[in-house]
Amino acid sequence: MRFIKNIIFSVWRIFVPNSQPIFIMAHMRSGSSLLEHILSSNPEIFGAGEQSRIYATSTDLKKGELLIRRINNTLFKPYKYSTDQILHKKYTPNLDLIRSNTIKVVFLIRNPEETISSIEKLGGPYGIYEKNAFSSSEYYINRLEYLVNLSSQIPERNQIFITYEELVTETEHTLKKLNSFLELKTVLKKEYNVKQTTGKFGDTSKNIKEGTIINTKKKLIKIDIKTKVKLDNLYKETSLLLRKRNND
């Protein structure tokens, strides 16, 4: 069976034009599902939500593309880009792959208070069954440090930085930036297509099913002052560094 699948993959790879991957490099509850829906609703981009796929080689990129195309019933349709959300370090073990000109990277982060509150609401960074394995604050700190390090190793022309706050409150300006970065012919819009997987994977809130950006007030948990100051400072420092590298 695997042999047959490999043959099908090899043949498909020959006949389908290459699309360039877009990685939304973010953290949990950063708005990555929202951004992925907006991007993949553009006719030049396709995606199927968060794949939780390990990308170690260019073959992994193509296999991920094949899976998304099968889900979307677009096996042979030409696209400029494919997109996926990457929220954990384990899914990108080969930094050389990301450092190449093969991948466009969108860095996306969200302020810590809303992020931590949202993660805790879900039961911690890895779900309720592993709540004590890794605190939400530790996950947030490690992830932002990883993103800063990764950004320093990627060519500036291949990366862009936005925040969740910009996406929901400065939507038109932010989408114009993304349009320019990706050199899209079709304008990105705040309205997006709801998929069969929407609300089932990644963001499971009811807002994601609305098909448009909704800026709502979040119920925040209490974070001790020392931790809050540390997280706020990290968020500001990360934003400054990523903006500087993106000439923003």
Domain topology for 19-245: Rossmann fold (3.40.50)
Cα–Cα distance, 60 to 239 (Å, whole number): 30
Three-class secondary structure of residue 39 per DSSP: helix
Say what the pLDDT of residue 14 is: 60
Say what the pLDDT of residue 18 is: 75
Measured at the alpha carbon of residue 29, what is the angle toward residues 81 and 90, in degrees to the nearest 5? 65
- Terminus-to-terminus CA distance in the chain, angstroms? 50
9-17 contacts: CB < 8 A, separation 24 or more? 9/62, 9/63, 9/66, 12/66, 12/75, 13/62, 15/76, 16/69, 16/75, 16/76, 17/78
Q: What pTM did the predictor assign? A: 0.89
- Tell me, what amino acid is at 94? N
Cα–Cα distance, 165 to 30 (Å, whole number): 9
- Tell me, what amino acid is at 36? E
**Would you say 153 and 105 are in contact if contact means Cβ atoms under 8 Å apart?**
no
The sign of the torsion formed by the CA atoms of 23, 50, 193, 124 equals negative
Going by C-alpha positions, the residue among 22, 38, 128 that lies closest to residue 79 is: 22
- DSSP annotation string for 189-214: -S--PPPTTBTTBS--SSGGGGSS--
Cα–Cα distance, 224 to 113 (Å, whole number): 11
pLDDT in tens, the chain (248 residues): 566 666 666 665 666 667 889 999 999 999 999 999 999 999 999 886 777 889 998 888 887 777 777 777 777 788 899 899 999 999 998 988 888 878 999 999 999 999 998 888 776 555 443 444 458 899 999 999 999 999 999 999 999 999 999 999 999 999 999 999 999 999 999 999 888 777 677 777 888 888 999 887 777 888 889 999 999 999 999 999 999 887 66
Say what the pLDDT of residue 129 is: 36
